[in-house]
Amino acid sequence: MDLREGIVIRTHGGHYYVQSDGQVTDCTIRGRLKKERAKADVVAIGDRVYWSETEEGFGVIEEVQPRKSVLARTPPPPRAAIAQVIVANPDQVLIVFAARNPPLNPLMLDRYLVATEGAELPAVIVINKADLIEDDEDLEVPRMYTGIGYNVLFTSTVTGYGIEELRALLRDKLSVLTGPSGVGKSSLLNALWPDLDLRVGEISEVHDRGRHTTAVARLLNPEENTFVADTPGMRQFRFWDIDPEQLDYFFPEMRPFLGDCRFQPCTHMHEPDCAVQAAVERGEIPELRYESYRRMFEYGF
Ligand SMILES: Nc1nc2c(ncn2[C@@H]2O[C@H](COP(=O)(O)OP(=O)(O)OP(=O)(O)O)[C@@H](O)[C@H]2O)c(=O)[nH]1
Ligand SMILES: [Mg+2]
Ligand SMILES: [Zn+2]
């Protein structure tokens, strides 16, 4: 049997589109792989696979290489906890928000950040529509994240600002591009690689309800060795399997204080002598972030 190596760039109803040497083959998967599906998605976009040709243009996936990372979600309870793999083998998550229009909502951004921390993946915050920045107030929230230690990149598809930095960040990696609808994810990809010619939506009143122009997650391969998953955002990027007791750890600026609370474990909600609450009062943990923590702790995602 002649096995070839490839990467899954799109899946659709039992079809797995595998790219090897610049060519895409419509593949099915071997029965024994299907049996393992009871546990998790056996094949997802980003998976590195071995496949063999069955007829011209068609093939079958024989083997899936072990994943080095995964971005997954489990369905909300009470459904069975079968992880749905959004992307296999991502190197990083780029979380795109707009400086304005729609307004930068830190409570929403924190959900994406916590989900990324939960997946143990590096996060990059991209603040697009930098051309709409008017005053210092527009920079307050981005500065808060820089202060925490996150990598924050400003971009504009209108002026071209930050586009080359973004290209350098994406090069030779498999990145997940996520963020709310209307922030300009597809526009950024078009600015980087005009040949992609992705559909860009006009911003409408319903944008904040999560109506997305980009519907399915797929892997783009605009340059050799560079892969980008343009995901439809929050509805897919919603995580149910984060244990409230672990939530504090996913706020990196809280980590230095976690050992110093009088009660262990501490929810940092109402306990006396809580080192996290004390750090918030001293201004060492931003109040907005603590507010995010409280909301996620109480209401989940
Ligand atoms: N002012 C300004 N507008 C932008 C910029 N980038 C994108 N837009 C506009 O923002 C709107 C939404 O852009 P899209 O690229 O479709 O947004 P998206 O994030 O892909 O949205 P979904 O596919 O729905 O998730 C469009 O009207 C774009 O023209 C920018 O840098 N500055
Ligand atoms: Mg889009
Ligand atoms: Zn505490």
CATH 1.10.40.50: which residues of the chain? 244-299
Ligand approaching nearest to the C-alpha of 264: 3
Which ligand 1 atom is at minimum distance from the Cα of 128? 31
Alpha carbon distance 44, 57 (integer Å): 20
Q: Which fold has domain 4-64?
A: OB fold (Dihydrolipoamide Acetyltransferase, E2P) (2.40.50)
Q: For each of the chain's 301 residues, which pLDDT tens digit applies?
A: 789 999 999 998 889 999 998 899 999 998 877 776 556 678 999 999 999 999 999 999 999 999 999 888 766 666 656 677 889 999 999 999 999 999 999 999 999 999 899 889 999 999 999 999 999 999 999 999 999 999 999 999 999 999 999 999 999 999 999 998 899 999 999 999 999 888 887 544 444 444 445 545 789 999 999 999 977 655 555 555 677 888 999 999 999 999 999 999 999 999 999 999 999 999 999 999 999 999 999 887 6
Q: What angle do CA 96, 98, 103 make, to 5 degrees?
A: 130
Tell me the CA–centroid distance for residue 255 and ligand 1, in Å. Answer: 35
CA 235 to ligand 2 center in whole angstroms: 14
Name the CATH superfamily for 87-230. Answer: P-loop containing nucleotide triphosphate hydrolases (3.40.50.300)
Ranges in the chain annotated CATH 2.40.50.140: 4-64
Closest CA to 121 of 79, 67, 163, 74: 67
Q: How far is the CA of 201 from the centre of ligand 1 (A)?
A: 7
Tokens at 25, concatenated:
């083959």
Nearest alpha-carbon partner for 132 in 103, 108, 110: 103
- In this structure, which ligand is nearest to the CA of 180? 1
Instruction: Write out residues with Cβ below 6 Å of ligand 1.
Output: 128-129, 131-132, 156-158, 181-187, 200-203, 212-214, 232-233
Q: Range(s) for CATH 3.40.50.300 in the chain?
A: 87-230
Q: List the residue whose alpha carbon is closest to atom 13 of ligand 1.
A: 184
Pick the CATH number of 244-299 from 3.90.1300.10, 1.10.40.50, 2.40.160.40, 2.70.98.40: 1.10.40.50
Judged on CB neighbours under 10 Å (0-12, 13-18, 19+), 205 is exposed
Ligand closest to CA 163 = 1
CA of 131 to the centre of ligand 2 (A): 19
